Structure 1
Amino acid sequence: MEKSIKILGLIAIIFVSSIFIFGTKSDNIKNEPVSDKNTAEFYQIKALKIPDNLEFAGEKVPLGKTEILERVDRELLVNTYWQSNTLLLIKRAHKYFPIIEPILKKNGIPDDFKYLAAIESGLQNVTSPAGAKGFWQIMPQTARELSLEVNDNVDERYNVEKSTEVACDYLKKAKNKFGNWTLAAASYNAGMAGISRKQNEQFVDDYYDLMLSEETKRYLPRIIAVKEILSNPENYGFVFDKEDLYVEEETKIVKVDTAITNIARFSKSLGTNYNVIKYHNPWLRENNLNNSSRKMYDIKIPVK
C-alpha cells in the first residue's frame, strides 16, 4: 500500500512538472510566432530620394559632385532616422522660428539661417564644451564684443531675441568678407580666420571645394538636410497634428531699471513664481539682479 502511494505521488509530481515545463496545448499555441515571415514585412529602413534642387540661401548645392551628394545623403539619413530628436526639433521650430524669422528679415539675413540655429543648439539654451551658449552658441568674448552682457548675474546669450541680433551682425560681416552666404555659414562654425586660412592654403574659394575639418564639412549639409526635413516633414515619415507642436506662451513686458534683491520674492509680487520667471527669462542667471548701472531690462511674464 505504502509503495502504491509513493508511485501515485511520483506520477502526480511528473504530471505537474510537465505542465510547468511544456505548458498546456493552448499555451503552446499562444506562444507560437504570429508569423514566420521575414522581419522586413513588418519594419523597413528605406533609402532616401535626395531632391535635385537643394539650395541654401538661394545658393545651389552642387549635388553633381559625388562627395557632396554623399555628404548630404548622410545628413538626411541621420536626421530622418534620429526620429525623436528631429520630431522635437519640428515641435520647437513651430515655437521659436516665429521669433527668429522677423529678426533675420529686418537685418537682411536669408531666412534659411534659422536652420543654422536649429543645428547649433536644437533650439535650446545649451552650453558647448568650449563654453558657447544659447540658441546661437555664442562664445563669451564674441558676445561682449557685440554688446551682449555676459557675467555670472546676467548672460544675454540666453536671450533669443538679443542673441539673434548678434548672430545677424556676425553673418553680415562674414558675407561681406566672403561674398556668399554658404561661406558665411561655414565661418560660423570654423571662424572667419579659419575659412580664410584654408582658402589661402588650398587656392580655392568655394566651400564645396575646400578640404575642411570633419565638423565643418558636415556643417552645411546638416543645415541643408534639416531645412529639407523641416520644410517637408511628411516626405520623411513625420506624422503629427498642429496641436502636437509647441507654441510660445503669450507674455507681457515688465520694465526694470533698478536692482532686484530677490527674484523669487519679486515674482510673487507679479502674481507668478520664480520658476516661471526663469523659464521666460533664462538670461537671469541668479536669484537677484545686481543692476548697479541702472540699465533698463525687459522681463517677460505670462499674460493671465
Structure 2
Amino acid sequence: MKKIMNTNKALLSTLGVILISGILVFGISGDNKDKVLREGTPLYFPTAVDFAGETAPLQITDVKERLDRELLINANLDATTALIIKRANRAFPVIEPILAKNGVPDDFKYLAVIESGLVNAVSPSGAKGVWQFMPETAKEKGMEVNDLVDERYHLEKSTEAACRYLLAAKDRFGSWTLAAASYNGGMAGVGKKIEEQKVTNYYDLALTEETSRYVFRILALKEIMKNPALYGFSLYGSDLYAPIPAKKIEVDSTISNLADFAKTQGINYKILKIHNPWLRDKKLVNPNKKKYEIEIPLSGY
C-alpha cells in the first residue's frame, strides 16, 4: 500500500511538472502568452493609456517599461493601494466638481492621489495637505497659512489653488502632461529641461528620477483605481469610505474655545477637527471678521 502511494505521489509530481512546463512553454508565444500573463495579478498591462486625453507612447520601450515598473510597484503595495481606493470614494466627490468647474481634466485627481494618498500628509520639506503645497506657494495661490488657520488642509480650497497652478502651467507648456510634471519639478525646472534638450514632450525629456517617474505613477494609479480587479483588488461597495453628510456654518467672529463651540453644534472637539483640519489651534482668532465656513457632520457619529 505504501509503495502504491509513493508511486501515485511520484506520478502526481511528474504531472505537475509537465503542467507547469506546458504553461511556461505556451506562455511565451502567441495568444497563450497574453492569457497566462494577463490573467494573473499584478502582471496585467494595458494596451493603451492616456493622461488628460494625451496618449502615452507605449510603443517606445523606455515608456512601456517605466509604466510597467509603476504598475508592479503599486499593485504590490496591497494595504496602501487598497486604502487609497477606499478613501477615493469620499475624496473624489469633493475634488471632481472643482476640477470640472475650473476646466481642469478629471485625471488630475490622480495627481492628488500620488502626492498624498488622499490624506493631509506632511512631507519632510514642509509641504502639507492632500495637494502638498509648500507655505509660500500656498500663499501665492491665495490660501491663508499661519498658526491658527492653514488652508492647505482644506480640501476644497487647496483643490481650487491646485487648479490655478495647473491652468498656469498648461498655458506655459501647452500640455497637460507637462503641467502635471511641473507640479513635481516646478515650472522653471521643467522649462529649463525643455530649453536644454530641445524637445517639447514629457516622454522625450530626461528629468530627475522623481519627476521622470511622476506622470507614470499617476498613470499607474489611474489604471489600477479604474480597474482594481485586474490588479488583485476585490473591494465591495461596503468596503469603501462613504461620504459623510455635513452642513456648513458661516463664522465671522472670534471663537475663543473650539471645544465649547463643538458642543454647541452637537459634536465634540475631535470630530470638529476631523472635519475642519485647517483649524490648527484650539481657538479661532478673527479680529478682521473674515468669513469662514466650518463643516459640521449631520450623521456618522
In structure 2, what is the Cα distance between the partners aligned to 1:94 and 1:268?
A: 29
1:214 pairs, out of 203, 209, 212, with 209
Whether 2:80 is the aligned partner of 1:85: answer yes
Cα deviation for residue 46 of structure 1 reads 5.1
CA gap of 1:159–1:47, structure 2 versus 1, over 3 A, is closer
Larger-gyration structure (1/2): 1
SS in 2 for 1:166: helix
State the superposition RMSD in angstroms.
1.7
2:223 pairs, out of 220, 228, 234, with 228
Whether 2:166 is the aligned partner of 1:187: answer no
Whether 2:230 is the aligned partner of 1:243: answer no
Aligned partner of 2:280: which letter?
R
Aligned partner of 2:208: which letter?
S
CA gap of 1:260–1:70, structure 2 versus 1, over 3 A, is same
In structure 1, what is the Cα distance between the partners aligned to 2:255 and 2:123?
A: 29
SS in 2 for 1:154: coil
Aligned partner of 1:191: which letter?
G
Identity of aligned residues (%): 56
Cα deviation for residue 49 of structure 1 reads 3.0
Q: Residue 267 of structure 2 corresponds to which residue in structure 1?
A: 272
1:196 pairs, out of 169, 178, 191, with 191
Cα deviation for residue 70 of structure 1 reads 0.8
Instruction: Point out where structure 1 has 5 or more consecutive residues left out of the alignment.
Output: 1-34
SS in 2 for 1:252: strand
The normalised TM-score by structure 2 is: 0.85
- The structure 1 segments of at least 4 consecutive aligned residues displaced by more than 4 Å after TM superposition are 35-38, 44-47
Q: Residue 8 of structure 1 corresponds to which residue in structure 2?
A: none
Whether 2:122 is the aligned partner of 1:124: answer no
Q: How many residues align?
A: 266
In structure 1, what is the Cα distance between the partners aligned to 2:284 and 2:265?
A: 16
In structure 2, what is the Cα distance between the partners aligned to 1:254 and 1:281?
A: 12
Q: Residue 57 of structure 1 corresponds to which residue in structure 2?
A: 52
Aligned partner of 2:87: which letter?
R
SS in 2 for 1:101: helix
Q: Residue 164 of structure 2 corresponds to which residue in structure 1?
A: 169
Whether 2:142 is the aligned partner of 1:143: answer no
CA gap of 1:111–1:130, structure 2 versus 1, over 3 A, is same
CA gap of 1:109–1:159, structure 2 versus 1, over 3 A, is same
SS in 1 for 2:168: helix
- Residues 166-199 of structure 1: per-residue CA shift (max 9 Å, x gap): 0000000000000010000000000000001111
- Residues 38-65 of structure 1: per-residue CA shift (max 9 Å, x gap): 9xx9xx9856132121110000001111
The normalised TM-score by structure 1 is: 0.85
In structure 2, what is the Cα distance between the partners aligned to 1:164 and 1:53?
A: 28
Q: Residue 19 of structure 1 corresponds to which residue in structure 2?
A: none
